[in-house]
Amino acid sequence: MIQFEHVSKSVGSKTVLTDIDLVIPTGELVVLAGPSGCGKTTTLKMINRLIAPTKGRVLVDDRDVASRPVLALRQGMGYVTQHTGLFEHLTVRENLALPAQLAHWDAPAIERRLAQLAEQFSLPKGGFFDSYPYQLSAVEKQRVCIARAFVADPAVLLMDDPFAALEPGERSRMQDEFVTMQALSRKTVVFITSQIEEAIKIADRLCIMEKGHVLQYDKPEEILKNPRDGFVREFVGRNRIFTNPEEICARDIMLTRPATTHPEVPMLKGMEKMRLAKVDSLLVVDEDGYFLGIVRAEHVHRCDNKEEAIKSVMREARVTVRPDETVPQLLAKIRRYRVNNIPVVEENRLLGLITNSSIVTILSQQSINLEEVEGL
């Protein structure tokens, strides 16, 4: 168990952390999330004493880290720094062996351990262990880096935004693997990220920080259901889980990039756009983003001269909604006007589009009893 007791940190006149109180239970994956500069890295580095608190204390297994021998403390924790932090002058093998060497393992034991890790982290076979970091891809570097943190089999892992350098696809795959690995090994993990999606995906507990304060610390589901007002709500954004359809506004569930067109565009091109976007209508918007109307495929078909501009067949929208209208209001409008979708408009500008199916999809992902929602 890792505990922060009234920990504050200031550097010169600048306050980095203010009165942090945090309990990280053994075997849980705790994610510290927040924008850059919110103090999450400082918090992490206090656990392995790379940074000392100005006030308060940090306890690991009920003992103040400041009173423990620093080298032994650090050797008992795996650490992944920002931007990987592999040693460029050493081979993969040498990089991986270092933590075990520092703990005075003998060579055969290290070799056995590396083989085991190669398996566990699906590192390529062959000459991979003799290559240098510059010869590796971003994903391979990341794998080696995380493997290095596991080498001496520490009980605690500290990971400072380890997936930041990866592309979205690779990142998502690494997250999945890491979640599996964590489920199997049950280490105490403190993980830093600035992406709320990543945090939600991997966290057992989520700690949202901003400007050196812990704003909310709870299970991810709790935070998504009941985010505190202000920054947390904003940070959670569209990932929020709603318990009541009344809480959900058009803004929360609208498609933000519906298929649009300009009124002067010839119908032929409009048809082409519908075909490519797989839709049967386009929203007509002028160059300043003002919403003008809707053009439907059937209207274009009925027109003989398809060279003409779209504005000649455009219709005014039967109904629009404001971004703050709630789901019951949306459903009522859909029923009353018998439409499949409704443009979201504010001060004559188009913000997005609500479709019948998007409402159903969104509602089914929330913790809402669908049978109790009227008008679905």
Q: Is 216 one of the binding residues for other proteins (CB under 8 A)?
A: no
Q: Which of 288, 284, 347, 271 is nearest to 317 (CA)?
A: 284
Return the residues of window 47-66 that contact other proteins according to CB under 8 A. Answer: 48, 50
Minimum Å gap between C-beta 326 and other proteins is 48
Residue whose CB is less far from other proteins, 40 or 74 = 74
159 C-beta neighbours (distance < 10 Å), count = 23
Q: Which of 254, 267, 265 is nearest to 300 (CA)?
A: 267
Q: Which two tokens stand for residue 64?
A: 């103040």
Q: Is 128 one of the binding residues for other proteins (CB under 8 A)?
A: no
What order of strands is seen across the sheet that includes strand 29-33?
A: 77-80, 156-160, 188-193, 29-33, 205-210, 213-218
Q: Which two tokens stand for residue 154?
A: 């520490």
Minimum Å gap between C-beta 189 and other proteins is 15
Residues 130 and 138: beta-carbon distance below 8 Å: no
Residue whose CB is less far from other proteins, 60 or 241 = 60
Q: Is 138 one of the binding residues for other proteins (CB under 8 A)?
A: no
Q: What are the Cα distances from residue 82, in Å, to 39, 146, 293, 326?
A: 14, 12, 49, 42
Burial of 18 (0-12, 13-18, 19+ CB in 10 A): middle
**Among the listed residues 39, 53, 99, 343, the single contact to other proteins using CB under 8 A:** 99
Q: Which two tokens stand for residue 325?
A: 């209208």
**Among the listed residues 13, 67, 106, 134, the single contact to other proteins using CB under 8 A:** 134
Residue whose CB is less far from other proteins, 91 or 226 = 91
**Among the listed residues 31, 92, 158, 295, the single contact to other proteins using CB under 8 A:** 158
Q: Is 87 one of the binding residues for other proteins (CB under 8 A)?
A: yes
94 C-beta neighbours (distance < 10 Å), count = 14
Q: Is 130 one of the binding residues for other proteins (CB under 8 A)?
A: no
Q: Is 74 one of the binding residues for other proteins (CB under 8 A)?
A: yes
Residues 69 and 143: beta-carbon distance below 8 Å: no
d(CA 227, CA 323): 20
d(CA 371, CA 40): 42
Residue whose CB is less far from other proteins, 102 or 107 = 102
Minimum Å gap between C-beta 158 and other proteins is 7
Residue burial 262-276, b: 16+ Cβ < 10 Å; e: rest: bbebebeebbebbee
* Piece of the chain touching other proteins by CB under 8 A; list 73-81, 136-144, 202-210, 271-279: 73-81
* Piece of the chain touching other proteins by CB under 8 A; list 43-51, 167-175, 300-308, 360-368: 43-51
Q: Is 315 one of the binding residues for other proteins (CB under 8 A)?
A: no
Minimum Å gap between C-beta 358 and other proteins is 43
* Piece of the chain touching other proteins by CB under 8 A; list 28-36, 79-87, 105-113, 171-179: 79-87
Minimum Å gap between C-beta 145 and other proteins is 8
Q: Is 79 one of the binding residues for other proteins (CB under 8 A)?
A: yes
Minimum Å gap between C-beta 37 and other proteins is 15
Output phi, psi for 268, to 5 deg: -55, -45
Residue 107 neighbours by CB under 8 Å, 6+ apart: none
Minimum Å gap between C-beta 75 and other proteins is 4
Q: Is 133 one of the binding residues for other proteins (CB under 8 A)?
A: yes
Both ends of the chain: CA-CA distance in Å?
Answer: 47
Strands 29-33 and 188-193: parallel
Q: Is 77 one of the binding residues for other proteins (CB under 8 A)?
A: yes
Residues that bind other proteins (CB under 8 A): 45, 48, 50, 70-75, 77, 79, 81-90, 98-99, 102-103, 132-134, 148, 152, 158
